[in-house]
Structure 1
C-alpha cells in the first residue's frame, strides 16, 4: 500500500511552462498534499494542465522571482507542516520521493530544513563535472520558518534557525527548450545579476545580509567568493579564470560535447556577459548626481522597477496595498 502524501505544500512559479509542468506535477503527486502554482500570464496551456492535475492556481503580475515566490508564501494560505520550492522544469525521481516520505514524518522539531542534490541536464546529458554536481540546494523547510532572499538574481531560501538535513536522491533540472531559450534566459539573468552588484556597490538600497541564516554551506561559499575577490577582478579576467578552473581543474571536459557547450556558455559566456553588463550599467549612471538619480537611471536602462521591488522589508516586499491572491477556477 502506497504511503499517504506528506503534510507538504509545493510552490511552483510558471509562465508558459506547458512543456514542463505536467512532468513536475506528476513527479510530486505521491509526495505533496497540496500544490500551489502562481502563474504570471501564460499564453499556452500551462494553467489548464496544472488545473487538470489538481494544482491550486493563482495569478499575479511578474516583477521578479524573489518577489513572486515570497508573495506565494505570504498570500496563498500555506498551512501544511512543510513547504517546498520547485521550478516548473525540475522533477523528482521515485527514489527521492520514497526517501522523503519515509524521513520527514520522523524528524524532530529541531530539523527545520532539507537540502537536496540537484542534477543539471543539458542537451540530453547529465552534467556531472565542472562543479555542477552534486549541487546542494535548500528546497524544503518547516512552514513559516523560511523565506526567500530579496535579490534580483541568485536568490536562495533561508531559514533563520534549526538544523539542516540533507537527503540524497534524484532531483533534476531538465529544461526541454533549445539553445535560443537558454541564451535568452541567461541574458536576462546577466542583467539582474549586474543590478545586484551595482545596488551593493553603490549602497542604493538597504539589502539585508543573509549570511548568518541557515542555508547550504555550498551556496554560502559561492556567494562569498562572488561578492568578494571575484567581483574585484578586472573585466573579463574573472570569467576566464573561472572557466579554466571549472573545465580543467574540476574536470568539466569529461562531460563530452554537450558539456563543452554548456561549460563555455554557462561558465564563460554568461559570466563575461555579467561583467559586460556591469560596465554598461556603470556608464548609464556615470553622470547621475546622487543615489536617487542612479536608481532612476538603472531602472530606465534595464526596464526593471527597482523602487517597486525594494520599497519594503523582505518579509513584506510583495504585500502591495489592495492586492489579494486570485485563485483561478
Structure 2
C-alpha cells in the first residue's frame, strides 16, 4: 500500500462506488468518503470495502471537498481526488505503485489524463481527450478552488509531473438522469459566467493563462467565452468541437455527446442568463437578489 489517501464525495452512488473503490485498492486502502446523506446503499457498500465514511450536509463541491481535506483521518504524504463514477485503470494503479514513493521532494502534484466513456464509447475527439487534471498532490500543498463551476485543485507550492495512464469517467446512469443533472449544473455555470462580468465575490482561483496548465488554459478560454454574445457562443463552440476538432469521428455516441454537452447544455446556460436579464435586468444588486430569492444562493459568499 502506498502512502496516499483518496477523498471521494458521494450522494446515492451505489451504481459506481464499488467499481471506484476496488480500482483504488490496488495501491491504497486509505479511502475517505464525505457523503451527503445517501438514501441508497452507497455507504454500506463503501464501508464493506474498508472505506471510512462521514456524513456532512451538502453546501457546494469546493466546501465539501475542502472539508474532506481538512478532516482526512489518514496522515499520508499524498492525497488524491476521485469522483464516485470514475475508476483508475490497472495500468495507472501500477504506475502509482512504481513512481509514488520515489518521487522527488520538489514535486508537489501529479496530473492524470481523464477519458470519458459515453454509451460505452470512449470519446477521443472534439478536444475531449486528453483532459489533464491535477488529481494527486502532497498533503498541505493543495486545495479545491472555491469557484461555482469546474472546480480545480490548486497547488500552493511545488512542481508538477504528468502520469502516463488514465482515470476513466464512466457514468452508468440513464440519459434522463444526465440531462436533469446538467440542468442543475447550468445554474452554477450561469453564476460562474456572470461572476466573470460582475465579480460578485473574490476567491482564490486558477489564474487564467493560455500558455499555462490545462486548467489555467481552460479558465482563460472561459473568460474569453463569457465575452461572446449569448446564443452565438454555443454554436461556435459546437462547430469547433464537432467539426474543427473532429468530434464527428466519435460516431453516433460522439454526436449525442458533443451535441448535448457541447451545444444543448451551453445553449441552456445562455437561455438561463437571458432569463436573468429578462427578469431583473443587468444591475448587479438585482441579479444577486434574484439568485437569493429564486435559488437560495448567496452570490457574495
CA–CA separation in structure 1 for the residues paired with 2:34 and 2:282: 40
- Higher relative CO (CA 8 A, sep ≥ 6), structure 1 or 2? 1
Q: Secondary structure at the match of 2:200?
A: coil
CA–CA separation in structure 2 for the residues paired with 1:305 and 1:88: 28
CA–CA separation in structure 1 for the residues paired with 2:35 and 2:278: 35
CA–CA separation in structure 2 for the residues paired with 1:29 and 1:47: 17
Check 1:163–1:287 CA distance in 2 against 1; reply closer, same or farther (3 A cut). Answer: closer
Q: Is the counterpart of residue 175 in structure 1 residue 171 in structure 2?
A: yes
CA–CA separation in structure 1 for the residues paired with 2:43 and 2:72: 17
Q: Secondary structure at the match of 1:271?
A: helix
* CA-CA distance at 1:287 after TM superposition: 7.6
Runs of at least 5 residues in structure 2 that lack an aligned partner in the other structure: none
Partner of 2:32: 36
* CA-CA distance at 1:216 after TM superposition: 6.9
* CA-CA distance at 1:212 after TM superposition: 7.7
Check 1:82–1:51 CA distance in 2 against 1; reply closer, same or farther (3 A cut). Answer: same
| 1:34-73 equivalence runs, <5 A | 34-73=30-69
Q: Is the counterpart of residue 13 in structure 1 residue 9 in structure 2?
A: yes
1:281–1:301 Cα contact (<8 Å) kept: no
Taking only aligned residues, the RMSD between alpha carbons, in angstroms, comes to 1.8
1:116–1:166 Cα contact (<8 Å) kept: yes
CA–CA separation in structure 2 for the residues paired with 1:40 and 1:16: 9
* CA-CA distance at 1:78 after TM superposition: 4.2
TM-score by length of 1: 0.87
| 1:41-190 equivalence runs, <5 A | 41-190=37-186
* CA-CA distance at 1:200 after TM superposition: 3.1
Check 1:287–1:255 CA distance in 2 against 1; reply closer, same or farther (3 A cut). Answer: closer
CA–CA separation in structure 2 for the residues paired with 1:170 and 1:196: 28
Check 1:226–1:264 CA distance in 2 against 1; reply closer, same or farther (3 A cut). Answer: same
Number of residue pairs matched by the alignment: 300
CA–CA separation in structure 2 for the residues paired with 1:208 and 1:167: 26
Partner of 1:315: none
Q: Find the partner of 1:246 among 241, 250, 268.
A: 241
* CA-CA distance at 1:304 after TM superposition: 2.9
CA–CA separation in structure 2 for the residues paired with 1:216 and 1:269: 29
1:94–1:170 Cα contact (<8 Å) kept: no
* CA-CA distance at 1:305 after TM superposition: 4.4
* CA-CA distance at 1:209 after TM superposition: 4.2
Partner of 2:206: 210
Partner of 2:22: 26
1:8–1:83 Cα contact (<8 Å) kept: yes
CA–CA separation in structure 1 for the residues paired with 2:16 and 2:238: 30
CA–CA separation in structure 2 for the residues paired with 1:101 and 1:205: 41
* CA-CA distance at 1:219 after TM superposition: 1.8
Once the two structures are superposed, residues 104-129 of structure 1 have per-residue CA deviations (whole angstroms, 9 ceiling, x without a partner) of 11111100000101000001101000
* CA-CA distance at 1:284 after TM superposition: 4.0
CA–CA separation in structure 1 for the residues paired with 2:68 and 2:296: 24
Partner of 2:290: 297
Partner of 1:324: none
* CA-CA distance at 1:34 after TM superposition: 0.7
Q: Secondary structure at the match of 1:32?
A: coil
CA–CA separation in structure 2 for the residues paired with 1:100 and 1:208: 29
CA–CA separation in structure 2 for the residues paired with 1:282 and 1:74: 39
Q: Is the counterpart of residue 275 in structure 1 residue 281 in structure 2?
A: no
CA–CA separation in structure 1 for the residues paired with 2:167 and 2:126: 18
